[in-house]
Structure 1
């Protein structure tokens, strides 16, 4: 099993957070959304996108769990939307 697949399968997040992100995948547009979320050039592949998204999501999860005042629920859902969509594309390849 590759590292990304292992990291994705190990993710455990609250159901409501995952449900919100799941609903958001219907409106996910890779070019538009990754540019906004990553603030860099759009990664060429779903794998490259996941390599950038996973550490961002992990940092947001740490902030959520510690009730950090800089935690943004909206950003967390956005990143999870991208993670779910890119993971789906990654598994299709």
Structure 2
């Protein structure tokens, strides 16, 4: 199984989605955005949250590729923003632990 950082590095998405996510990551608020995406009262730690987000994003990307009527670009961007935000938080946390 790939580690979390490898899964994130291997994400290849259209430029428009990636740019929109990079633009929004500075406004990412874990307590608001992650709670809404994962639909949880108690938020998981960064690694667990990232695994959940990556699984959700994989399903969303499959819907995008298959041109599913249920696909929502705005929700896809929201999940990509959360992935970027959680990655930032996890890296910052791991730097403080070193």
Answer whether TM exceeds 0.5 for this pair.
yes
RMSD: 1.3
Distance 2:67 2:33 in 1: 26
Distance 2:41 2:22 in 1: 25
Structure 1 residue runs of 4 or more that deviate by more than 6 Å after TM superposition: none
CA contact (8 A) 1:21 1:78 kept: yes
In structure 2, the partner of 1:41 is: 41
User: For this pair of structures, how many residues does the alignment match?
Assistant: 92
Runs of 5+ unmatched residues, structure 1: none
CA contact (8 A) 1:34 1:42 kept: no
TM-score for both structures, normalised by structure 1? 0.91
Distance 1:42 1:78 in 2: 19
TM-score for both structures, normalised by structure 2? 0.87
Runs of 5+ unmatched residues, structure 2: none
